[in-house]
Amino acid sequence: MNFSGGIHPKENKITQHYRIGILQIPQFVYLHLSQHTGKPSIPIVKTGDYVLRGQKIAQPDGLVSASLHSPVSGKVVEIKEVLHPVLCKKFPAIVIESDGHNKTIDFSTKYKEYFRFSAEELVNRIKDLGIVGLGGAMFPSHVKLSPPRDKIIDYVIANGCECEPYLTCDDRVMQENSLELVEGLRIVMHILNALKGIIVVEDNKMQAYQKLKEKVSTIPNIEIKLVKTKYPQGAEKQLIKKVLNKEVPSGGLPMDVGVVLHNVATFVAIYNAIVKGIPLIERVLTISGDIDRKGNFLLPIGMMLKDIVKMLNIDVNNIKKIIFGGPMMGIAQESLETPIIKGTSGILFFSDYKIEQEYNQCIRCAKCVEVCPMKLMPNFLSLYIEYKKWDKVNIYSPFDCIECGCCSYVCVAKRPIVAQIKYAKSIIKK
């Protein structure tokens, strides 16, 4: 069953056939204490401490929080405020100077035969190794894997849609880490005692689809589902509607309809944590746009944008806009002194980006209403937000907006509808 609305922006999956590469280890990494949904982590190291690659450097503050580990061996040089790519302001980060040796902690683990362990033991391990959702939201995985007792989980969905233009890191992960993905899915199904696993792939990633189909051919309770490409299919509610024809209620969660859903790369991270004992210290991201050295790269968490620019020889004088994430939902960065975090799925460089300063009156064409996947009225939201009629804004459910950007994309009057809704949410929350 298709979800309503949505658009078909130009895909620009230029790096789809680029194998995952690596870059040299940077001299410094900057590890934000807030790179997950929830409370910032609490540092357990201090300036001057020597740390190994994979060593825990910060612990969670409460249930909805996450652990943090060093992606390099070296010395903690300071804990200072550094620009945050999502919060767009300075925030505390642990700065580590690499000694260039990449000396690791002992990754050996007793959890290899995961089916011998209880859900609680495995969830604690996932929490301890700092796994969060890698699709962008960075929700701590241990929380999603601990539904209340009255919530029965029937389905676990691996989201391989990657519907944002340009981004191809999930596609490459599905092709190059298909075994880890399928095993990660089985681990999660074991934890949740789920009946069925479904890996969903859009039909512009046929190589990934074929690879995964082969991998699960002998596993009866895992299915690969091929769906027609459409934006924003990767959004949780839209994907559940598409695959299972279930509606997640307004303000509700996938677990309310018996589903737990993770991005494909998150399952690989869960596999690495449980079977290999490796914490979340690096991730695959796409680097693309108007630059020569594009690709998909496995980079250490905390690598500074300026180091990536230098290593890839990118001439930023020709670049007008840099976005972390995809062009539809990503966040424009104002400084090269910004590190990547666990949720950074891509870095896009654009040279011909035009900033729209002016916008026009709504012509009531209703195009934004047609494409809104949440069945909202973006035209009225935009209008009432412009005139600061907050009581009226509330009537049109701004908090159901998933900030997909479809409305702004089609608006002929070039109204900045998503930016207006984000602003309204912050005002109403206050």
Grouping H, G, I as helix, E, B as strand and the rest as coil, residue 291 is coil
Starting at the edge strand found earlier in the chain, the sheet holding 68-69 runs 42-43, 56-59, 68-69
CB of 323 to ligand SF4, least distance (A): 16
d(CA 41, CA 153): 29
Q: Which is nearer to ligand SF4, 130 or 405 (CB)?
A: 405
DSSP H helices in 321-430: 367-371, 378-386, 390-395, 406-410, 417-429
Per-residue exposure over 290-325, b if at least 16 CB sit within 10 Å of its own CB, e if not: bbeebbbbbbbbbbbbebbbeebebeeeebebbbbb
Does 219 engage in binding with ligand SF4 (CB under 6 A)? no
Interaction of residue 428 with ligand SF4, rule CB under 6 A: no
Residue with Cβ nearer ligand SF4 (17 or 414): 414
Per-residue binder mask for ligand SF4 (CB under 6 A), 306-345, x = binder: ----------------------------------------
Owner of token pair 């009537």: 395
CA–CA gap between residue 401 and residue 392 (Å, rounded):
16
Which of 236, 244, 141 lies closest to 187, judged by CA?
141
Taking CB under 6 A as the rule, does residue 363 contact ligand SF4?
Answer: yes
Label residue 58 exposed, middle or buried (CB < 10 Å: 0-12, 13-18, 19+).
buried
Give the shortest CB-287-to-ligand SF4 separation in angstroms.
26
HSE at residue 404, side-chain half, CA atoms within 13 A, is 30
Least Å distance between CB 411 and ligand SF4? 3
> Nearer Cβ to ligand SF4, position 83 or 418?
418
The residue from 146, 178, 382, 420 that contacts ligand SF4 (CB under 6 A) is 382
| 3-state secondary structure string across 108-148 | CCCCCCHHHCCHHHHHHHHHHCCCECCCCCCCEHHHHCCCC
Closer by beta carbon to ligand SF4, 260 or else 407: 407
Applying CB under 6 A, does 424 fall inside the site for ligand SF4?
A: no
Stretch near ligand SF4 under the rule CB under 6 A, chosen from 124-132, 145-153, 199-207, 374-382? 374-382
241 touches ligand SF4 by CB under 6 A: no
144 alpha carbon, distance to own chain's centre: 15
Going along 155-276, which residue ranges are E strands? 155-160, 196-202, 222-227, 259-263
362 binds ligand SF4 (CB under 6 A): yes
Among 87, 195, 365, 427, binds ligand SF4 (CB under 6 A): 365
Measured between its terminal Cα atoms, the distance across the chain in Å is: 38
| Selected range binding ligand SF4 among 11-19, 212-220, 375-383, 389-397, rule: CB under 6 A | 375-383
* 368 vs 66: CA distance, rounded Å: 37
Contact segment (CB under 6 A) with ligand SF4 among 49-57, 85-93, 173-181, 403-411 equals 403-411
Residue 378 in the binding site for ligand SF4 (CB under 6 A)? yes
Is 401 one of the binding residues for ligand SF4 (CB under 6 A)?
yes
379 binds ligand SF4 (CB under 6 A): yes
**Is residue 404 near ligand SF4 by the rule CB under 6 A?**
yes
Minimum gap (Å) between residue 24 Cβ and ligand SF4: 39
| Strand 222-227 versus strand 196-202 pairing type | parallel
Q: What x/- string results for residues 160 through 189 when contact with ligand SF4 is judged by CB under 6 A?
A: ------------------------------
Residue 395 touches ligand SF4, criterion: CB under 6 A: no
Helix boundaries (H) for 199-235: 206-215
Using CB under 6 A as the binding rule, whether residue 406 contacts ligand SF4 is answered as yes
Contacts of 247 (CB under 8 A, 6+ apart): 237, 240, 241, 257
Residue from 364, 388, 399, 428 touching ligand SF4 (CB under 6 A): that is: 364
Looking at 69, 144, 237, 367, which residue binds ligand SF4 (CB under 6 A)?
A: 367
> Position of tokens 């509808």?
417
Q: Does 83 bind ligand SF4 (CB under 6 A)?
A: no
403 binds ligand SF4 (CB under 6 A): yes
Residue among 23 and 374 whose Cβ is closer to ligand SF4: 374
Contact pick of 152, 195, 395, 412 for ligand SF4 (by CB under 6 A): 412
Q: Which of 28, 39, 32, 43 is nearest to 89 (CA)?
A: 32
Please name the residue that has the structure tokens 């410094």. Answer: 28
> Which residues sit at the interface with ligand SF4, rule CB under 6 A?
362-368, 371-374, 376, 378-379, 382, 401-407, 410-413, 415, 417-418, 421
